Structure 1
Amino acid sequence: MGIAILAVMAVGVVLMLTRKLPTAFALGLMAVAIAVISGASWLGKDNSVAGTVLQTGASMLAATMIAVLLGSWLGTLMEDTGISSTLVRKIVEFGGERPAVVALGVYAVSILCGSVTGSAAAAMLAGVVGIPAMIAVGVRPVVAGGTILMGLATGLPLELIGWQFLSDAVKLPIEQVRDFQLKVFPIALIAGVAYILIETRRRGARHAWAVKVGGARSASRVRRGDASWYALLTPVLPIVLALGFEVPIIPSLLIGLVYALVTTTRPGQLSERALRSLYRAFDIAAPPIVLFIAIGMLLSAVKLPGAVKALTPIISSVSPSGPVLFIVVFALLVPLCLYRGPLNVYGLGAGVAGVLISGGIYPAPAVLGMMSSYGQVLCVSDPTSTQTVWSAQFAGVRPEKVMVSTLPYTWLMAIGALVLTAVLYIA
């Protein structure tokens, strides 16, 4: 039975890698197949395909889905109101003709955007103005795109949506997820700053098109008016509320939304802007929400008693024991989270994490650390991730070039987080 389940997972990976099926569809079909192989009945309330996998599984990550929608809504507001572009322009004006300073400034804005929402939406918030500005002062296009992505990865440990997802996936309290992610943040920050300082030493040619693109977009924003200084606090507010005042994630995001609307919009236009940005947010949030529905189904399937009984002996036999082997083995396996591979935490990797926890192979906090480590790499260096594709294409390079440029640094990020995990949670 265990071999049959692993075969289903292997087929699912092939279908995702070859783009024969979208990731969400492949994960959903895998969940049903695993449940059937595990001996689950089709109908019934307990341990059934319909009741456990499809019904309960689809809503397992409901809190994460709501957070994704609210984060996407806040991101669209930051774009519509000029908050993100104003932040980037102020940094560029301060940096002047110094490529490293400009890149570090755009990187800082990318961290803020990444802490609000992930995927291509965050890359666009910082990159639409930031990438042309960096190229204009001589930063190579591949590094300009990589800088945006490294900022998103550094902001990922502060992303409230990410906290909610990891909490739901490994069934740990938000507070425990938050505390671990805050420890990961300095590791990501050091790697991100090192990437910029090292890679910007190799100057690229100045491009007139970058100046024109940046100038045209800047002029458009100026005509609409720059965001006020107090509106620029919008991306920080939800983090401060969640960290400093322990406000739950969804209320923190809602307060950030209201603050963004009130500080940037005339009273008579509040309703129109709120609805318009919400409609756009649905378009942005729909793909990840569908993915999280499928991930919830897969998590429910691999936690069925039959699946746990079948997979635990196999996974236990190949899982490293002890802190040193844990670090070495999972560090070597980092590439398996790329190209929608089996350790992609927003794909089959979530199912693997479920097996590791339900089978008692590792404690849940250790699995949290592993997922967080791979998430740092996936956010930046996966050529199939939407944010990587957008950033590379907007900078005028192939996503694979961005992967080659950033992977040494994100791999070190992952190793640092794995070391942290081993020290804290592996006996």
Structure 2
Amino acid sequence: MGLVILLVMAAGVAAMLTRRIPTAFALVLLAVAIAVVAGAPLTGKGSVLLTVLQEGAPTLAATMIAVLLGSWLGKLLDETGIAGTLVRKIIEFGGDRPTVVALGVLGVSALVGTVTGSAPAAMLAGIIGIPAMIAVGIPKVTAAGTILMGIAVGIPFELPVWQFFSTALELPVPTVRGFMIKLFPFALVAAVLFVLVESRRRGVEHAWAFRPATAKPLSRRAKLGDAPWYALITPLVPLVLALGLDVPIIPSLLAGVLYALVTTTRPGGMNKRLLRTLYGGFEVAAPPIALFIAIGILLAAVKLPGAVEALEPLVKAVSPQNTVLFVLVFTLLVPLCLYRGPLNVFGLGAGIAGVLIAAGIYPATAVLGLATSYNQVFGVADPTSTQTVWSAQYAGVTPQQVMLRTLPYVWAVALGGFCVTAATYL
């Protein structure tokens, strides 16, 4: 039975890789198939309809709300000009010094990445940042990669991500937060090294190589649209509350929304902006929310007693217990989180994580280390992720080119995460 479930998982991966079925739909079909193979009845306790579909769908409800609030805050950063102002100030400070400009845009990307991930974060920092970097001589691939590496620096402090791992792995938020803080230095060092190395070794492209209509960050009109200086700390508000004052995640994000609104909007226009950005946030959040519904259903399926009993001996046989082998094996498997592969935590990887925990093969904290480390790779180098596709296309290169340049750096981040995991939790 375990072998059949593995074959079903392989078929699901193939369906996602070939894009014959959207990821969320593929995960739901995969969950139902696993439940059927595991011998789950159609109705009643531990069934396909009740346990897998009905109870599994809202499993990550707290994560979905956090994603929606993060998307809402991201829309406010865009509409109020906070994100654009941050980027323009950095460009003004950097002048014609390419490395300084790139490092500044990297910092803004990291700040935005703490609020919202994926394509919205890339667009907030990249619409102005990418043309500005290329205009001062940063190569196109490096410019796109800088945005992505910056977002990866912010991922360890992205509150919706904390909530996701907390709920999916059934761990307290402080535990997730603690490991994310340990992962942050690796992401930061890798990102800075990427900018310093790649901006030099790839040569210089002159300003006229790329200057789209949006590349006018220092125009008088843009300056007049700058957000107030006290509004620029908006991305830090939820982070300070959640990290410094231990405020729960959803209230922290709500506080960020309210701060952005109050510091940038006149009283008479608050209602319209409030609703407009909220509805815009729903549009941005819809794809990840659909994915989280599917992941919840998949987690419910792989945790069924029949599935755990069938998979435990197979997974245990191939899971290294020695700390050195643990680091070595999972480091070599890093490419499997790319192209929506089986170790992508926002896909089948969530199911594998559930099996590792349910079968008692690794403690939940060790699985947290694995999943978050792989997520650092997926969030930057996966050519199928929305932020990678958008950044690459906006810079005028292919996602595969960005993957080849960024992968060595985020692979090293994952290695660092695995070493910390093995030393701390095994």
With normalisation by structure 2, the TM-score equals 0.98
Alpha-carbon distance between aligned partners in 2 of 1:211 and 1:400, rounded to the nearest angstrom? 22
Q: How much does 1:212 deviate?
A: 5.5
Q: How much does 1:224 deviate?
A: 5.6
Q: Deviations over 1:193-241 (max 9, x none)?
A: 0111111113331233745545546548627621011100000110000
Paired residue for 1:412?
Answer: 412
Paired residue for 1:6?
Answer: 6
Paired residue for 1:324?
Answer: 324
Change in Cα spacing, 1:221 to 1:84, as seen in structure 2 (3 Å) is: farther
With normalisation by structure 1, the TM-score equals 0.98
Paired residue for 1:400?
Answer: 400
Q: How big is the alpha-carbon RMSD for the aligned residues of Structure 1 and Structure 2?
A: 1.2
Paired residue for 2:370?
Answer: 370
Change in Cα spacing, 1:39 to 1:276, as seen in structure 2 (3 Å) is: same
Secondary structure at the counterpart of residue 117 of structure 1: coil
Paired residue for 2:175?
Answer: 176
Alpha-carbon distance between aligned partners in 1 of 2:225 and 2:59, rounded to the nearest angstrom? 43
Alpha-carbon distance between aligned partners in 2 of 1:3 and 1:87, rounded to the nearest angstrom? 53
Q: Indicate if the aligned counterparts of 1:133 and 1:210 stay in contact, CA closer than 8 A.
A: no
Secondary structure at the counterpart of residue 201 of structure 1: helix
Secondary structure at the counterpart of residue 229 of structure 2: coil
Alpha-carbon distance between aligned partners in 1 of 2:74 and 2:209, rounded to the nearest angstrom? 27
Residue correspondence of structure 1 range 381-392 to structure 2 within 5 A:
381-392=381-392
Paired residue for 1:32?
Answer: 32
List gaps (5 residues or longer) in structure 2: none
Alpha-carbon distance between aligned partners in 1 of 2:420 and 2:85, rounded to the nearest angstrom? 36
Secondary structure at the counterpart of residue 116 of structure 1: coil
Q: Indicate if the aligned counterparts of 2:114 and 2:235 stay in contact, CA closer than 8 A.
A: yes
Q: Deviations over 1:374-406 (max 9, x none)?
A: 000000000000000000000000000000000
Paired residue for 2:295?
Answer: 295
Q: Indicate if the aligned counterparts of 1:184 and 1:417 stay in contact, CA closer than 8 A.
A: yes
Q: Indicate if the aligned counterparts of 1:41 and 1:48 stay in contact, CA closer than 8 A.
A: yes
Alpha-carbon distance between aligned partners in 2 of 1:218 and 1:83, rounded to the nearest angstrom? 15
Q: How much does 1:336 deviate?
A: 0.2
Paired residue for 1:148?
Answer: 147
Q: How much does 1:278 deviate?
A: 1.1
Q: Indicate if the aligned counterparts of 1:135 and 1:204 stay in contact, CA closer than 8 A.
A: no
Q: Aligned letter for 1:357?
A: I
Paired residue for 2:244?
Answer: 244
Residue correspondence of structure 1 range 192-203 to structure 2 within 5 A:
192-202=191-201, 203=203
Q: How much does 1:366 deviate?
A: 0.1
Q: Deviations over 1:133-169 (max 9, x none)?
A: 0000000000000000000111100100110001011
Q: How much does 1:322 deviate?
A: 1.4
Q: Indicate if the aligned counterparts of 1:123 and 1:148 stay in contact, CA closer than 8 A.
A: yes
Alpha-carbon distance between aligned partners in 2 of 1:414 and 1:240, rounded to the nearest angstrom? 26
Paired residue for 2:98?
Answer: 99
Paired residue for 1:229?
Answer: 229
Q: Indicate if the aligned counterparts of 2:327 and 2:418 stay in contact, CA closer than 8 A.
A: yes
Q: Indicate if the aligned counterparts of 2:98 and 2:137 stay in contact, CA closer than 8 A.
A: yes
Paired residue for 1:263?
Answer: 263
Residue correspondence of structure 1 range 302-381 to structure 2 within 5 A:
302-381=302-381
Q: Indicate if the aligned counterparts of 1:82 and 1:221 stay in contact, CA closer than 8 A.
A: no
Alpha-carbon distance between aligned partners in 1 of 2:81 and 2:411, rounded to the nearest angstrom? 34
> Post-superposition, which runs of at least 4 consecutive aligned residues in structure 1 deviate over 6 A?
none
Paired residue for 2:159?
Answer: 160
Q: Aligned letter for 2:180?
A: Q
List gaps (5 residues or longer) in structure 1: none
